[in-house]
């Protein structure tokens, strides 16, 4: 990786990784709904839910009916319990986040957020996680720019690239279709963190399809960023 002046983080799945907590909540809501009806329908298991990740709760409930022999009443009750239990997970902040940010600040490296999450939930979540908005030079969200511009549209990075040269920034994300393709479209470097959506091998295989002169790197967990960013940043 080249030395960088600005690190752009995706939010969900990178700084805030609530996936495992969300899966357990879904399982608990499903279990409660089925127990209420004293049914023999199947409770969705962890691996099954991972295959559905990215779908809405309503879409999942419909699949439970089609694939797990749920009734519509069971699905409705599941959605009710899921809504009642929705919220943030205070333990889902990436391990090592605060330590990394403090070390980056000491080297004068700036950080930014680029996320398709909307403003109405983002800032409340930051507050609950005890993350300061002052950590970030830029915060670009799904409703920040006009015309509904979101990742992977490269224009979502225009506010950043008006100030920084492309070679001075790197985008860190956990998705191929959104994060990686934003980096490809904007012609900037990228670090992919493996997640429920994509493994390290998934990223590496996709990188081979987009050899364009930029540097792409895949890692397994957030804490590896300490060595990567602190050893390569100005």
- For residue range 72-129, list pLDDT tens digits in order: 999 999 999 998 887 767 678 998 999 999 999 888 899 999 999 999 889 988 998 9
Average pLDDT (162-180) is 96
Pair (11, 40) in one structural domain: no
**Cβ-based neighbour number of residue 15 at 10 Å:** 24
Rounded Cα–Cα distance for residues 111 and 98 (Å):
12
Report the predicted TM-score, pTM, of the whole model to 2 decimal places: 0.84
Return mean pLDDT, the chain. 91
**How many domains does the chain contain in total?**
2
DSSP summary character for residue 216? E
1 within domain boundaries:
no
Rounded Cα–Cα distance for residues 18 and 105 (Å):
26
Pair (78, 95) in one structural domain: no
- Rg (the chain; Cα; Å): 19
pLDDT tens-place string over residues 24-44? 999 999 999 999 998 889 999
Per-residue pLDDT, 5? 94
DSSP summary character for residue 168? G
Q: Which domain holds residue 224?
A: 6-17+91-230
Per-residue pLDDT, 232? 53
Per-residue pLDDT, 195? 87
Supply the DSSP string of 137-153, one letter for each residue. EEEE-TTTSGGG--TT-
Pair (10, 111) in one structural domain: yes
Average pLDDT (1-28) is 89
Pair (149, 208) in one structural domain: yes
């Amino acid at each position: 990786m080249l030395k960088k002046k600005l690190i752009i983080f995706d939010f969900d799945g990178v700084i805030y990784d609530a996936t495992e907590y969300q899966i357990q909540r879904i399982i608990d809501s499903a279990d409660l709904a089925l127990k209420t009806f004293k049914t023999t329908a199947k409770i969705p298991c962890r691996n099954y839910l991972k295959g559905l990740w990215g779908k809405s709760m309503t879409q999942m409930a419909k699949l439970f009916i089609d694939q797990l022999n749920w009734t519509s009443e069971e699905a409705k009750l599941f959605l009710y319990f899921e809504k009642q239990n929705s919220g943030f997970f205070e333990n889902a902040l990436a391990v090592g986040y605060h330590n990394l940010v403090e070390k980056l600040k000491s080297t004068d490296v700036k950080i930014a957020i680029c996320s398709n999450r909307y403003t109405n939930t983002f800032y409340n979540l930051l507050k609950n996680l005890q993350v300061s908005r002052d950590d970030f030079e830029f915060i670009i969200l799904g409703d920040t720019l006009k015309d509904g511009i979101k990742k992977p549209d490269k224009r979502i990075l225009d506010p950043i690239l008006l100030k920084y040269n492309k070679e001075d920034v790197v985008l860190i994300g956990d998705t191929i279709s959104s994060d990686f393709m934003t980096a490809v479209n904007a012609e900037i470097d990228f670090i992919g963190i493996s997640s429920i959506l994509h493994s390290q091998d998934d990223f590496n295989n996709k990188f081979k399809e987009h050899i364009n002169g930029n540097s792409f790197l895949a890692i397994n967990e957030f804490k590896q960023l300490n060595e990567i960013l602190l050893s390569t940043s100005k």
